[in-house]
Structure 1
Amino acid sequence: MLVPEIALTPQMVERFKGRFGDQVAVMHSRLSGGERYDEWRKIREGKANVVVGARSAVFAPFSDLGLIIMDEEHETSYKQEESPKYHARDVAIRRAQQHGAVVILGSATPSLESYHAARSQANPDFSPMLLEMKKRALGNRLPEVHVVDMREELKEGNRSMFSRDLHQALDARLERKEQTVLLLNRRGYSTFVMCRSCGYVAGCPECDISLTYHQKSNNLRCHYCGYAEPAPEVCPECGSEHIRFFGTGTQRVEEELAKLFPGIRVIRMDVDTTTEKGSHEKLLKQFRDQKADVLLGTQMVAKGLDFPNVTLVGVITADSALNLPDFRAAEKTFQLLTQVAGRAGRHQLPGEVVIQSYTPEHYSIVHASGHDYDSFVREELRHRRSLHYPPYCRLILVTLTHEQLPLLVRMAENMVTTLQGKAKQRGWYGSLDRLTSDAFEVLGPVASPIPRIKNRYRFQCMIKWRGNIDAVALTREAAEQLEDSAQGQKLLISIDVDPQMLM
């Protein structure tokens, strides 16, 4: 049984142990080396028939595997971004084929690749059956959803991060002693620090990214390399005292809640509060035992959690991911909004959802507010088909990094030239606009969206391909050729097949 987040493991383990007792093993990366070995040995010796865990549990050493269930199969956390790169869904399907087992990919918002494969039945290696549940498991109604246009709130004089609708809904839940889940997909206190006198923005010295302010530690932190420095009291560039903290993070929302609702009990759940072992279980148990009124968090609070007393879900900023350089931005936004909305009214009490947005007309938000997966899929697939993106092709993202930018640019250009030349030799190369069944196209090279991390510059190119061609082998061949020619120059090349993120 695979779950997308370690935070969901305790709840799932509790349910499975209630049914299967000591036959349940647990596998995830937060276990110590000794604990992991004990669980592995328990499975290997046949003392456990059920394994519950996050991505790595797909490798559980069963000799007679019969069933693999992937809960929330659409989640990008099933893809391991570090080497060795793999997607747990692909591993699950391959293992099931080897053992003659069944795979169940479960989601209220399936990934477009899985949904399209089930609908089209065009892929002989992956042609799942599509089974649909038209009602909630307990038969209760889906929550009522209100979308608030924050542009109108500002026009009418409301400068708070909370719309009037969300404020009133929170007030009503506190009065009735019901609970609320608030989603904000940004940790920290503010997203960047700027001097209003000279325009200076505090940035990481090793990455081309702004630093995030964390109030509890009173420091600025880079979420990519871990660099931290004390928060400035005056501008380091011009000496001005007009230092301001811009943007909204979970710490700032927590502070604002305390100001607006004195005495409110808030549990904040994000990367900063869940670093210690057992912290997920502790926080979720406190909320389940109704020792808090609000569970505030990043996307980890949107997935699979089940609390009978939660009747309100609030989304602080629904469009935060829509402007990212990612062709899946609309899909991820729709999935996140639909999933977090599903936390409200799961039992006897009716649910309500308030979604705050600066672009409420965007089709991902419109269809999510209407619980309309089918309409979203039709619209999104039209865009994907016209732009030649998955599921109508496959992608390989090649990222090159080096400490010297001029050398890196030359290497990236060489990589693209080599890829194009090898594809032409095989008769594959050409735009995906062609009507031929086989096509191989290279886009780039360009600087990565975050052009420098840990003092290494980053350039990337993207390969689109379709048909019966071995694009992965060709890409590896080109990368090895470039690495051989650049020996001793500290060039690193990363090849990501079917990337989930383009950052």
Structure 2
Amino acid sequence: MYILDVVPLIAIPRNQDQILSYFCEERLPAGSLVEVEIRKKKVKAIVLASKGLAELKIRLKKEADFELKPIDKVLKGQPILNQHQLNIALWLSAKYFAPLGLCVKAILPPFWSKKTNKYDSFAVRGRRVHRKKEPYLEVFLHSQKLILIPEKIMAEYFLEKHSKENPVFLSGSTSSKEYFDIWQKVQSGEIKTIVGTRVALFLPFLNLKEIVVEDESNIAYHSDYTPKYDTGILARRVAKEYEAKIIINDSLPKVETYFEFGEKTLPKKAKTDTSFANMVSEIKDGNFSALSTELKEQIRSAVEKKNKVIIFVPRKGYAPYLLCQNCGYIHRCPKCEHVLVVHKKETGLRCHHCQNIQPILNVCPNCNKSVLEYKGLGIEKAEEKLIKFFKDRNITPPKILVLSGDTPPKEEENIINQFKDSTPVILLATQKILSYQRLLKANLVGILNLESLLNFVDFRTEEEALRTVFILSQMAEKTIIQGYDSEAKVVKTILSQDFKSFYEEELEARKDFNYPPFSEFIKLTFRHRDQRQSEREAKVMKERLSQEVRVKNYEKELEIIGPNTGLKEKGLCTQEIVIKNKLEIKKRNELLRLVPNTWNTEVS
């Protein structure tokens, strides 16, 4: 008789035990798959450990009230995950305070639960290479390299770049058949180089020696589903698990990465033709257009020379908001209170948070006056202004393309191909274009309304704005940045290319405010239909945590901020508590176990 420690592949609340024990008549290896019963439901589970009953008699005697159940059946008696993968799942659960079952499930390939017998041979057969004891085996197997990319659209570029290494590509959209083939060949060591999105980190590597993280700062590296992990941080842990080297590549590094690796992460100074158009001066000179005089002239010249132009517009839609000039009322989403964005092509006001659409009103619902104005600049308005510019000057307009987050994938591919193949051509684009930084080159880049990149209440705003402007400037021979503040730190850094000073100042400021990398942020969120109830619950939670901090003498390691009222989510009132933490993971998680299951916990 054996006792199995298993991880049910379901979301067990994080303040409850994540590993359960059952008895079994046979010893099963770690990573094998069984079926167990939890609250009268059949649930699949992964075995973590298997121990003989004799080894545990003392423990069982002490826990006389502990009722041990048998497993229902063995589904796969051979491991379907290796020990490295199990260790990574355990780390994910601890680091991000996520249900262990969901962390294990995230590592399992999409074909693991298929009922067809095509995947019956799915089992971990590889073993770890012990570098010190068996150097000859390492040479024989060669080494494996993983190149991480944030999005599938970058695959072609990196597959071509590493073509001599015969790489394979893996992403979340890879078919089960192909995924299975790659999984088997990676664990046997047959595949040496893998280009993949973040799911590739979970492959059963036999002899992983190097991980390259391309474009670490790309937002696509952040998982939207539990476990909500940062791919760059996970890649570091995977490298440590396999004793592999890690290389971080980025246009401009995250501040945390600069802090970790130093100046070698910064780009070298290069000769660039970048200028700043001060829109305050433009208005004083009588130019009320969205385009500066210099940018207009450069666009005209580029079209005349049959060149390529990229115009970057930070905002989607026609205008960021609809304003009543009489009472100052701004239209907000009735479900989540986010500001509604004007979309003229859809003839509606759209919430970019919950996708709710409202009709465009002619009368203010607050004061009943008909003095509503579209405020700010969106990509639709920029297109309108550009067409008007050519019409006013009797210039035959070139092909004008528009690329944004609203562009369907098939149309997106068509737009990119048209831009590559056409001259003259102008591409109006939002942040979506950053995914094509290596694939698209232009003669001119115009960046409209720089302040739109800076108007966010987030300590990473300036860093992200600088990176966006820098990437765009690397895509063209000439770059014109339009804004209202020539003394803005982002502008001065781009023009001087003194990146070291920027990062050192950022680190100094973050240290003063105890921001990452000098602490980690934990956001606790509570939602309820009743505003007063949500406020009461948040107040109780804050006091409960504060009391525990005092009892454990954690005042120097923990700072609790809030609760603060957040924007509504699907009609629910929101309360948020933010914790700045310096505690080690084990102590931090003991504290977080005080948080009820009705709260959402997110570690960043």
Q: What are the superposed Cα offsets for residues 131-169 of structure 1, whole Å, 9 maximum, x if unpaired?
A: 66636xxxxx54211112211211221111111111112
Q: Kindly provide the amino acid, as one letter, of the partner of residue 74 in structure 1.
A: S
Q: Kindly provide the amino acid, as one letter, of the partner of residue 36 in structure 1.
A: S
Q: Give the corresponding residue for 1:318.
A: 450
Q: Give the corresponding residue for 2:150.
A: 4
Q: Is the 8 A contact 2:379 2:429 kept in 1?
A: yes
- 1:6, CA displacement in angstroms? 4.2
* Secondary structure of the structure 2 residue equivalent to 1:399: strand
- 1:10, CA displacement in angstroms? 4.3
Output the CA distance in 2 between the equivalents of 1:374 and 1:146: 20
Q: Give the corresponding residue for 1:168.
A: 297
Q: What pairs with 1:133-172 in structure 2 (closer than 5 Å)?
A: 134=268, 141-172=270-301
* Secondary structure of the structure 2 residue equivalent to 1:162: coil
Output the CA distance in 2 between the equivalents of 1:133 and 1:364: 16
Q: What are the superposed Cα offsets for residues 218-257 of structure 1, whole Å, 9 maximum, x if unpaired?
A: 1211111111133234445555443322211112112221
Q: Give the corresponding residue for 2:234.
A: 91
Of the candidates 138, 160, 183, which is equivalent to residue 44 of structure 1? 183
Q: Is the 8 A contact 1:423 1:440 kept in 2?
A: yes
Q: Give the corresponding residue for 2:574.
A: 458
Output the CA distance in 2 between the equivalents of 1:199 and 1:452: 21
Q: Give the corresponding residue for 1:336.
A: 468
Work out the percentage of aligned pairs sharing the same amino acid.
Answer: 27
Output the CA distance in 2 between the equivalents of 1:272 and 1:142: 35
The higher relative CO (CA closer than 8 Å, separation ≥ 6) is in: 1
Q: Give the corresponding residue for 1:356.
A: 482
Q: What pairs with 1:55-454 in structure 2 (closer than 5 Å)?
A: 55-119=198-262, 130=264, 134=268, 141-236=270-365, 240-261=369-390, 262-273=396-407, 275-276=408-409, 278-290=410-422, 293-303=425-435, 305-306=437-438, 309-344=441-476, 351-430=477-556, 439-448=557-566, 451-454=567-570
1:305–1:42: structure 2 CA closer, same or farther, 3 Å change rule? farther
Output the CA distance in 2 between the equivalents of 1:370 and 1:333: 16
Q: Is the 8 A contact 1:149 1:356 kept in 2?
A: yes
Q: Is the 8 A contact 1:40 1:60 kept in 2?
A: no
1:6–1:196: structure 2 CA closer, same or farther, 3 Å change rule? farther
Over the aligned positions, Cα root-mean-square deviation in angstroms equals 2.5
- 1:36, CA displacement in angstroms? 3.4
Output the CA distance in 1 between the equivalents of 2:266 and 2:356: 46
Q: Give the corresponding residue for 1:495.
A: 601
* Secondary structure of the structure 1 residue equivalent to 2:432: helix
Q: Kindly provide the amino acid, as one letter, of the partner of residue 459 in structure 1.
A: Q
Q: Which moved more, 1:198-207 or 1:171-180?
A: 198-207
Output the CA distance in 2 between the equivalents of 1:213 and 1:54: 34
* Secondary structure of the structure 2 residue equivalent to 1:285: helix
Q: Is the 8 A contact 1:72 1:107 kept in 2?
A: yes
- 1:86, CA displacement in angstroms? 0.5
1:59–1:298: structure 2 CA closer, same or farther, 3 Å change rule? farther
* Secondary structure of the structure 2 residue equivalent to 1:391: coil
* Secondary structure of the structure 1 residue equivalent to 2:277: strand
* Secondary structure of the structure 2 residue equivalent to 1:80: coil
Q: Kindly provide the amino acid, as one letter, of the partner of residue 271 in structure 1.
A: G
Q: Kindly provide the amino acid, as one letter, of the partner of residue 599 in structure 2.
A: I
Output the CA distance in 2 between the equivalents of 1:220 and 1:469: 44
Q: What are the superposed Cα offsets for residues 86-136 of structure 1, whole Å, 9 maximum, x if unpaired?
A: 1111221121222222221101311111111224xxxxxxxxx9466636x
- 1:67, CA displacement in angstroms? 2.5
1:269–1:237: structure 2 CA closer, same or farther, 3 Å change rule? same
Output the CA distance in 2 between the equivalents of 1:238 and 1:61: 63
* Secondary structure of the structure 1 residue equivalent to 2:296: helix
Instruction: Figure out how many residues of one structure are paired with residues of the other and give that number.
Output: 449
Q: What are the superposed Cα offsets for residues 382-416 of structure 1, whole Å, 9 maximum, x if unpaired?
A: 21122221222222122222211111111111221
1:156–1:55: structure 2 CA closer, same or farther, 3 Å change rule? farther
Output the CA distance in 2 between the equivalents of 1:395 and 1:78: 18
Q: What are the superposed Cα offsets for residues 34-58 of structure 1, whole Å, 9 maximum, x if unpaired?
A: x432342231131754433433343
Q: What are the superposed Cα offsets for residues 285-340 of structure 1, whole Å, 9 maximum, x if unpaired?
A: 22222366122212221345235751211110112232321111111111111122
Output the CA distance in 2 between the equivalents of 1:252 and 1:403: 37
Q: Give the corresponding residue for 1:138.
A: none
* Secondary structure of the structure 2 residue equivalent to 1:462: strand
Q: Is the 8 A contact 1:465 1:471 kept in 2?
A: no
1:151–1:55: structure 2 CA closer, same or farther, 3 Å change rule? farther
Output the CA distance in 2 between the equivalents of 1:6 and 1:238: 49
Output the CA distance in 2 between the equivalents of 1:220 and 1:362: 32
1:131–1:307: structure 2 CA closer, same or farther, 3 Å change rule? closer
Q: What are the superposed Cα offsets for residues 176-220 of structure 1, whole Å, 9 maximum, x if unpaired?
A: 222122222211111112333454432211011121121222121
1:177–1:340: structure 2 CA closer, same or farther, 3 Å change rule? same
